[in-house]
Amino acid sequence: MPEADVPLLAAKNISRRFGSAPVLDSVSLTLAAGTLTVLTGRNGSGKTTLVNCLTGFDLAYEGEVQFRGTPLGRTPADGRARLGLVRTFQYPHVFADLRVGDHVRLGRLAGLAAIRSYFTRWGTAVTAEIVDELDLSPLLERPGFALSFGEMKVVNTARALATGAPVVLLDEPLASLHGWRRALMVRAIERRRSAGYAVLVIEHEAPELAASADDLFELEGGTLNRRSPA
């Protein structure tokens, strides 16, 4: 469990241009342990680009990203994930031919050292807190291609949370979720905050999260502006 009051993620002056168009302009952001940060902004304002840069999926940025005070440099995405910085995707990336149970297990085991992973049997048992938290038991045997969009988003988030990484960047985790699934997801996010994780959520319309967030930012014109939680 991560200690409180230690800045887990620090982004300093992140700038990203596509050709001559600046998408991110000197964006700085700090995520502390045990906090929930909500990031909003119009479509195309660069929220996903920011997450891509922070998590190493896009390394063509200027500026610095630090994890627990250590500069990440050009560490690629998988390296950052193994360090403890995971993310989900706006359009969920699920594994078409793997079952939901396998997704959760992969969250836990994918980061194993390659050599060791070949000497470890895959097995089938899925025992993870996240399965009960998000009520995934009925879906465990369902293959990725047979999931609805909302179910894909839940599985995407479950997979990321199963890693146990202390910094979690969730890209629209509540999209297409309603009723009890939505409530479960909100509760899971809140529980992570209480447990000392640093959670960043990108959402347009999430009053239940915005109200309790520790920080609320809006990305507009490439700059990050602080807003007060409602």
Partner 1 sequence: MGSILVAAIVSGSIYALVSLGFALAFRISSVFNLAHGILLVTAGYLNYWLAVQHGLSPWISVPTSLALVGALGLTIEAVLIPAAKTAGLKPVDLLLLSWLMLLIVQDVLAIAFESQSIYVGASQVREGWAVFGGRVTPLQALIVATSILVGAALFLIIRRSATGQEVLAVGDDPRLAMICGLNVKKIIGLNAAAAALLTAGAGILMSYQERLDPTLGFRFSVIAIVSTLIGFPLGPAGAVVGAYVLALFETLVLYVVDPGLRDAAVYAGLFLVLVWTYRRSLVPPEG
Partner 2 sequence: MVDLTLYVLQLCVVVGLLALAISFYTDGLGYVVLHPFALAGVGAYVFAVLATRYQWPPILGALAAVSSAALSGLLCAEAIRSLRGDGLTLATFGIGVGSFELFRQLDITNSVFGIGSIPSLVGDGGRAWQVGVALLALLLAAGLVRTWRRSVGGTVVAALRMDEWGALSVGAPLVAHQRVTGLLAGAVAGLGGVYLAVTARFVEPRDFQVSGLLVPLGAVIVAGGRTPWGVVVVAGGIVLVSQGARFVGASPVVAGPLTEIAIAACLAAVLVFTRLRQLRRDNARG
Q: Is 4 in the site for partner 1 (CB under 8 A)?
A: no
> Does 218 engage in binding with partner 1 (CB under 8 A)?
no
Residue 96 contact, options partner 2, partner 1, none, Cβ 5-8 Å cut-off depending on partner type = partner 2
- CB nearer to partner 2: give 21 or 113: 113
What do you get for the CA distance between the two ends of the chain, in Å?
Answer: 30
HEC states along 24-67? EEEEEEEEECCEEEEEECCCCCCHHHHHHHHHCCCCCCEEEEEE
Q: Which residues bind partner 2 (CB under 8 A)?
A: 55, 57, 76-79, 81-82, 86-89, 93-98, 102, 106-107, 109-115, 117-122, 144-146, 156, 159-160, 162-163
Strands of 198-202's sheet in order across: 85-87, 167-171, 198-202, 35-40, 215-220, 223-227
Cβ distance 180 to 136 under 8 Å? no
Q: How far is the CB of 43 from partner 1 (least distance, A)?
A: 17
The tokens describing 147, both together, are 């999931």
Q: How far is the CB of 46 from partner 1 (least distance, A)?
A: 14
49 binds, among partner 1, partner 2, none (CB under 5 to 8 A by kind): none
Binding of partner 1 by 59 (CB under 8 A) = yes
Catalog residues that contact partner 1 under the rule CB under 8 A.
57-60, 74
